[in-house]
Structure 1
Amino acid sequence: MSLPPPIAAWFAQRGWHPRRHQLEMVAAARDGSHALLVAPTGAGKTLAGFLATLADLAENPRDGLHTIYVSPLKALAVDVQRNLLTPVTEIGLDIRIETRTGDTPSDRKRRQRERPPHILLTTPESLALLISYPDAAAMLAGVKTVIVDEIHAFATTKRGDQLSLALSRLQALAPDMRRVGLSATIADPEAYQGWLAPDADSAAVRLVTGDPGAEPVVEILVIEDRIPWAGHNGRWAARAVMRRLEASRLAIVFVNTRAVAELVFRDLWAENDQALPIGIHHGSLSAEARRKTENAMASGRLRAIVATASLDLGIDWGDVDLVVQMGAPKGSSRLLQRTGRANHRMDEASRAIVVPGNRFEYLEALAAQDAVREGELDEDRFRPGGLDVLAQHIVACAAAAPFQADALFAEIRGAAPYAGLARARFDEVIAFVATGGYSLSAYDRYQRLKQGKDGSWRLTHPRLAAQHRLNAGTIVEAVTMNVVFGKNGRSGRRFGQVEEWFGGQLRIGDSFMFAGQTLEVTGFEGPDIFVRHGRGDPRVPTYVGGRMPLSTNLAARVRGLFNAPERWAEMPPDVREWLEIQQRRSLLPGLDDLLVETFERDGRWFMVAYGFAGRNAHQTLGMLLTQRMEAAGLQPLGFVGSDYVVAVWSLQQVTDPRPLFSPDVFEEELAEWMAASPFLRRAFREVAIIGGLIERTLPGQHKTGKAMSVSSDLIYDVLRRHEPGHLLLTAAWHDARSKLTDIDRLAALLETAQRNLVLVALDRVSPLAVPVLLEVGRERVAGTADTALLLEASALAAEAMQIDGA
């Protein structure tokens, strides 16, 4: 098939030929078909997504909004605009391309609604806000295509619920609109075809696959054949990493949390003997700081950048020739995605180095290396759409115009996450949005909808539309304070935000690490922390959440390495010795069992279970075990969990652990524990904010985290007492089960324990138990005793590795 002459000539002038999958995407557009493109990084996915749009606008020039591009990251939207402007300019097309994200000034957003560009690059949050305006119908009625980039980053999350609902609203406004999805890392394309399609009809979406590219090269960094016993971020190897950065043209150093980004940046700078220009990028930095770093990378003024998931996806800096992953990647898809940032060319191998934090993480890195080599991706778990997100969407629809419930219900059922939504549940959500529910209906502040004589629903007051736009979104960040460079009382340059709970601990004269710099606090004013350049040993801001869960596929591969002694020869000597002595002194975890070790040390009894179910499941299991041990009179002292292991210590010996791992009355115990724990309250606070029951922001006011927590706790207590079946309590329970505690993986682990629990009673600590015991002291439980045991690393390791008779 042929492209319009100007576009074909542009390819020819560059010595290029359109790839097969790019032409197939154009063909799908000309047939009016929805399409999902799965192609490797560097295959020209973004151009493939836009090529049909450029062709249509070249052949049929028009005014108005033609294509909406949805990105998971603000940085990616900006990067795509920069890269898309090049062919548009060189071809000579009269096409306006603009971004619309949370960083876009309000006057430009207003102008975009009045005079929209041909192509709008946005995020799910900004798109959801856009459809809430009364003039949205006129602006969006002519949309021909919506492109969802990095679709795997959305579909299984609440952001995906929000986007899917927005797509259904767009489809109602523009019935002929095509949906296009792009990704490089999808294990089950059919599931994503169903998510992308109107009415979840996967057959309606044409699958286009790209040719395989060059195999990525993943190296595991080992120094002097040794891997640390403990740690999880690879900082021990900063000097070696810096030497690799010196030898590369341009590098991205990925970390898994914002706090680690600050630490790793400081470590690398301390080893930066050549004073190479290095940047830092994460979501808590100001828009100005992030743009400055992105532009410096794009123009070649930086040699390396330390980044979190804020740069995970799609960014095309063609000169990047090295990716470093500090700490284990936690999933093969994530490692492949990050590796693809290097070279970003289909025909050249991308290079990545993984720096494991400890010996378990070395095995995880090796498992991820195997998975990438074999092309195995992590499977995504789809789930029904969140009711809190649905409530927010209903308010957005009402802010745009009054609606009829029957029509809106049919429209919402067209969104894949809500395809199975029952009418009774939908009516319950409408009632919640209208009154807050039975227990809250007497309060005017929760009256958001009213029904007219014609049956249509509308907002009770126009101010609710503005209030909705200030508070909409599905990402509930902790309340933040602004870091401002300047004198107290005078506004200065904003560096970004730290979480309020951290900022609240600071005092004038304290120093902390932020944006790669040491800052000294000079004063406070409302939500602002005023700072200047400081010295000394700074504190490092930490953020709620952060750590990524170990994927199920990777966990199974790690188990496989324990059971593949033929692979041990390729491991560093100290890791190989670690496994060999574990095999002699105890047992190694099997492919489908639960290995439990018990031993006594310094008057405390330890029980260590190797579940490989991920940190959240193991943390929940630790709570469950200590609760059951307390009831059994075993006097538990505490527990600690990692992605691989949970360890519990007590004053009394556990001689038969099987009853402790019983799945019987598990749900009842879990409900009792969660009701008394902060998990359910935290989950309720999030769904209450998303559902609009609690405002994050009020016009002209700064709302503190304490104020929001008080509001949330008061409402939670009222509903628990008077309306335990309330919609938001149900939503909070579901979130706490799946996201905070990973109950499904824990339940599977308990079932495994019933089938095949292997108990080994030891006379001292085993080699495999050392890494998790070095974390002891981070978790505490109340009970008959509450003293945590701190273990000294070298003595513990020596004890574990000693062979009897040696």
Structure 2
Amino acid sequence: MRALAADTAKALEAPLEELDIPWTVGLRTGDTSSAERARQSRRLPSALITTPESLTLLLTREDAREAFASLRMLVVDEWHELLGNKRGVQLQLALARLRRWNPRLIVWGLSATLGNQPHALEVLVPQGGGRLVQGHTPKTLRVDTLLPPSLERFPWAGHLGLRMLPQVVAELAASATALVFTNTRSQAEIWYQALLEARPDWAGLIALHHGSLAREVRDWVEASLKDGRLKAVVCTSSLDLGVDFLPVERVLQIGSPKGVARLMQRAGRSGHAPGRPSRVTLVPTHSLEVIEAAAAQDAVAARRIEAREAPDKPLDVLVQHLVSIALGGGFRPDALYAEVREAWSYRDLSAEDWEWALAFVRHGGHSLTAYPDYRRVEPDADGLWQVPDTRLARRHRMGIGTIVSDASLTVKYWTKGGAGGSLGSIEEGFVARLRPGDCFLFAGRTLELVRVENMTAYVRRSSGRKAAVPRWNGGRMPLSSELADAVVAELGAADRGVYASPEMRLVRPLLEVQQAWSALPTEDNLLAEVLKSREGWHLFLYPYAGRHVHLGLASLFAWRLGQRQPVTFSIAVNDYGFELLSATEVDWSACLNPTLFEPGDLLHDVLASLNAGELARRRFREIARIAGLVFTGFPGAGKSARQLQASSGLFFDVFRQYDPQNLLLGQAQQEVLRQELEVQRLAQTLQRMGERRLQVQVIKRPTPLGFPLLVERFRESMSSEKLADRIARMVRDLEQAAGPDPDAAVPATGEPR
């Protein structure tokens, strides 16, 4: 959102002088300098572009009501990015406060990719009276696929599609300006380096952009894009919001977008002007993503966009808000209770939950009463609740926000005189695995680690050894329901012999091997494959419900089967299905009966089948940080992820033993079920699986759909070199068993459809 905020500020400033409008425009985000913040503290600009966190920080000023007295309108851009998460809840609470001060406040929400607009309107304007406004001229979106010259019939995820590099280079060469989107920062680093190696003459004409790079680097890239000085930028979601880069002609998406809304959002970065079509080209990284590409085109054409639901009553955000409002002039409980209930997410907040929240900020609840650091808010003689301690006030202001990630280290060059310029930030967990002298890829450079000190990784340039690639959290996005359903529809058509698109015709040899050795999943049947190998007894099941749901389903089935007979399973999951492997004999034909698919006491079974306590403990770390239980440290003295986990884990254990009714414990469990396991989608998937005809196929060897699941399991226990050797050997054997590929002699065109 920092890129979007900076772009919005420039767009607002441009016409002011020409139209002779005496406005000032200000920007307040995490990138804003302390000097600019001080100026804004003295006088807010006519128009302020900001984020939910910075808006809340402004509400902690004692004169907040006077500062916002002249506020007339609030515009929430890219509302879909906030609606379904705690940042949106934080904004709801801030809006409730601003509306209380000015009941005539005008509120707009903007989005081009919302699948459930009535809900989005209700959350933003919960008091009613709002209306939906849609443009009459639909935006033309052109989605095509860069087809590889040939396809492997036994694909596996993880090799990042670099074999498509020549085709991508050719497409970029034919375009004036393009964006190349990847799903992860590590993938962006790899592709940027590969493009430079393929075309050294593009040095200075292509750039890299992701959220871990230094602000100066990001600002330069954004400005150069706007001015048309760059041929291509390899980027992540850091540029997929409504930023206006007019020179961008087209967008390439490396790998599956995993969601219809995300694909449409990224496509919209090209042709960003009224009447101009937007074009996105999908670049599959393995064969099965060719099917996803065909499905994505159909889903976009039908505008089957994912819905987003606002969280219900997150108490960690409420607790943080209470302290913020106590700083901003104080509050009286009854009045603030009525105000908070005007926010959609807290519309059903009970009096008991409210009293718990008040007690929690006053003395930390039942188990923390003896500790002064948790007496954050206290009422005075007149019943006004305020923060009495300036030290606690400073700590709270530094911790405002709901974005929680692993601790990061600043990456700086090491020079003879000490530290050099900053390159950005990198997750602590990755650096912890490196030793001085090890090389890694960051900011488009091969760097050698010199030393780690005071949350800073000092590096020097290196051109030597093979570099490791940093891994950031959030790298494995699950397939959305809408895109998954579109994929199954494509497979159903193939099962009927219909290969309507170039993508499906290209992938036909793979699907024909799947049909010959087993069957295809369709809208009407649930495919199960049973295999006996030297490893044991395998079950491959293909619900097509996304990685998170499949993890829950695999654990649930393994637990239910374990209740019937003593057996343990190894589990592997991907977006298409899951594998259960037992070293002891399992009669899968007998096990796969209707009782396995019954919802029953689903919540109990899911919690019993997983290490729910450990999952909740990890989730509690985020809740503890937002609720103010854990302080991340002052600048230059930040705590490590391990320290934060240990601190939050201590609170988790104390609450479970001495305060088991603590509402934050229940919230941790609910978030695990809702966000990590998607238990609602799991229940819907289980119901659909029970309604479909179960088709059990006994197979002699892994099929094209089952092979990627084997690779997922091997990846957990093998080094990358051993894994590559084993995969190559298995693919060679499977290809020999499948016979010659009828299309191998006639390569498919590399031109986009």
TM-score normalised by structure 1 residue count = 0.86
Answer yes or no: is 1:671 the counterpart of 2:616: no
Specify the SS of the correspondent of 1:774. Answer: helix
- Provide the residue aligned with 2:749 in structure 1: none
| Residues 346-365 of structure 1: CA deviation (Å, up to 9, x unaligned) | 31211110012223322221
The match for 2:157 is 231
Please tell me whether the aligned partners of residues 235 and 326 of structure 1 are also in contact (alpha carbons under 8 angstroms): no
Cα distance between partner residues in 2 of 1:676 and 1:377:
31
**Residues 632-671 of structure 1 mapped to structure 2, 5 A cutoff:** 635-651=567-583, 652-655=585-588, 656-658=591-593, 660-671=596-607
1:728 and 2:664 are equivalent in the alignment: yes
Choose which of 755, 759, 762 in structure 1 pairs with 2:696.
Answer: 759
**Bigger shift: 477-486 or 649-658?**
649-658
Name the structure 1 match of 2:626. Answer: 690
From 477, 499, 508, the counterpart of 1:568: 499
Per-residue CA deviation, residues 286-337 of structure 1 (Å, 9 max, x unaligned), is 2122112112212222111111111111111111001000111111111111
Which residue of the other structure, out of 341, 345, 356, is the alignment partner of 1:413?
341
Correspondence for 2:260 = 332
The equivalent of 2:650 in structure 1 is 714
Equivalent residue letter for 2:202:
A
1:602 shift after superposition: 2.7
Counterpart check, 1:290 vs 2:221? no
> Is this contact kept in 1: 2:296–2:483, CA < 8 A?
yes
* 1:581 aligns with one of 494, 513, 519: 513
Match of 2:746 in 1: none
Are the aligned partners of 2:123 and 2:310 in contact in 1 as well (CA < 8 Å)?
no
SS at match of 1:205: coil
Structure 1 residue aligned with 2:677: 741
Q: What aligned pairs does 1:10-29 form with structure 2 within 5 A after superposition?
A: none
Aligned to 1:524: 452
Q: Evaluate the alpha carbon distance shift between residue 742 and residue 593 of structure 1 in structure 2; reply closer, same or farther with a 3 A threshold.
A: farther
Q: Is the 8 A contact 2:226 2:245 kept in 1?
A: yes
Deviation for aligned residue 1:717: 1.1
2:496 equivalent to 1:559: no
In structure 2, the residue matched to 1:245 is 172
Counterpart among 81, 84, 101 of residue 153 in structure 1: 81
Question: Relative to 1, partners in 2 of residues 1:603 and 1:735: Cα closer, same or farther, differing over 3 Å?
Answer: closer
Other structure's SS at 2:167 match:
helix
Whether the 8 Å CA contact 2:119–2:309 is kept in 1: the answer is: no
Write the mapping of 1:67-82 to structure 2, written as runs, cut at 5 A: 73-82=1-10
1:534-553 matches, within 5 Å, as 534-535=462-463, 536-553=465-482
Give the aligned partner of residue 393 of structure 1.
321
Structure 1 equivalent of residue 185 of structure 2: 258
- Which residue does 2:420 correspond to in 1? 492
* Aligned equivalents of 1:82, 1:676: Cα separation in 2: 48
Query: Could you tell me how far apart the structure 2 residues matched to 1:557 and 1:572 are?
Result: 13
Quote the Cα distance in structure 1 between the aligned partners of 2:633 and 2:451. 23
Question: What SS class does the counterpart of residue 428 from structure 1 fall into?
Answer: helix
Residue in structure 2 matched with residue 365 of structure 1 by the alignment: 293
1:613-636 Cα deviation digits (max 9, x unpaired): 111111233333444455555644
Pairing partner for 2:137 from 187, 199, 212: 212
Which shifted more, 99-108 or 489-498? 489-498
CA distance in 2, matches of 1:266, 1:773: 30
Which of the numbers 538, 554, 564 marks the counterpart of 1:606? 538
Taking a change above 3 Å as real, the CA distance of residues 800 and 214 of structure 1, as seen in their structure-2 partners, is farther
Are the aligned partners of 2:225 and 2:247 in contact in 1 as well (CA < 8 Å)?
Answer: no
* CA–CA separation in structure 1 for the residues paired with 2:444 and 2:23: 39
Match of 1:27 in 2: none
- Separation in 1, partners of 2:506, 2:189: 30
Q: Secondary structure at the match of 2:571?
A: strand
DSSP-derived class of the 2:712 partner: coil
| 8 Å Cα contact 1:488/1:525 also seen in 2 | no
Change (3 A) 1:726 1:695: same
- 8 A contact 2:63–2:329 mirrored in 1: no
Do residues 505 (structure 1) and 505 (structure 2) align? no
Verify: 1:701 aligned to 2:637, yes or no: yes
Q: Does 1:313 align with 2:241?
A: yes
Against the structure 1 CA distance between its residues 377 and 511, is the aligned structure 2 distance closer, same or farther, given a 3 Å change threshold? same
Residue 747 of structure 2: aligned partner: none
**CA 407–777 in structure 1, closer or farther in 2 if over 3 Å, else same:** same
Deviations 1:752-799 (A, max 9, x none): 343433322223322321222222223479xxxxx9x96544136426
Which piece of structure 1 moves more, 109-118 or 623-632? 623-632
User: In 2, distance between residues paired with 1:580 and 1:780?
Assistant: 31
Instruction: Give the residue type in structure 2 aligned to 1:267.
Output: A
d(CA) in 2 for partners of 1:350, 1:537: 38
Contact preservation (8 Å) 1:639, 1:779: no
CA distance in 1, matches of 2:294, 2:208: 27
Asked if the contact 1:99–1:122 (Cα under 8 Å) also holds between the matched residues in 2, the reply is: yes
Query: Is residue 2:712 matched to residue 1:801?
Result: no
Q: CA deviation at 1:544?
A: 2.1
**8 Å CA contact retained: 2:59, 2:325:** yes
Query: How far does residue 214 in structure 1 lie from its aligned partner after superposition?
Result: 4.6
Unaligned runs of 5+ in 1: 1-72, 782-786
Query: Residue type of the partner of 2:467?
Result: P
Amino acid at match of 1:407: A
1:663 CA displacement: 3.4
Q: 1:797 to 1:433 in 2, by over 3 A?
A: farther
Tell me the distance in 2 between the aligned counterparts of 1:439 and 1:800. 65
Shift of the alpha carbon at 1:701?
A: 2.4
Displacement of 1:573: 4.7
Contact 1:328 1:364 in 2 (8 A): yes
Q: Residue type of the partner of 1:653?
A: V
CA distance in 1, matches of 2:658, 2:733: 52
* TM-superposed deviation, 1:599: 0.8
| Mapped pair 1:221 → 2:146 | yes
The amino acid that maps onto 1:568 is Y
Supply the distance in 1 between the matched residues of 2:665 and 2:688 (Cα, whole angstroms).
31
RMSD after superposition: 2.4
**C-alpha displacement of 1:117:** 0.9
C-alpha separation in 2, matches of 1:423 and 1:603? 57
Distance 1:293 1:795 in 2: 44
Partner of 2:404: 476
Q: Structure 1 residues 235, 252: closer, same or farther in 2, change over 3 A?
A: same
Q: Deviations over 1:581-612 (max 9, x none)?
A: 32233222121543221111234221111011
What one-letter code is carried by the residue in structure 1 that aligns with 2:407? V
CA–CA separation in structure 2 for the residues paired with 1:794 and 1:737: 37
For structure 2, the residue ranges without an aligned partner over 5 or more in a row are 741-753
Q: Greater relative contact order (Cα 8 A, min sep 6): structure 1 or 2?
A: 2
Q: 1:664: how far off?
A: 3.5
What is the letter of the counterpart of residue 615 of structure 1? R
Q: Which residue of 225, 232, 239 corresponds with 1:304?
A: 232
Per the TM alignment, residue 669 of structure 1 is displaced from its structure 2 partner at its CA by: 3.4
Q: What TM-score does the superposition give when structure 2 sets the normalisation length?
A: 0.91
Distance 1:138 1:707 in 2: 40
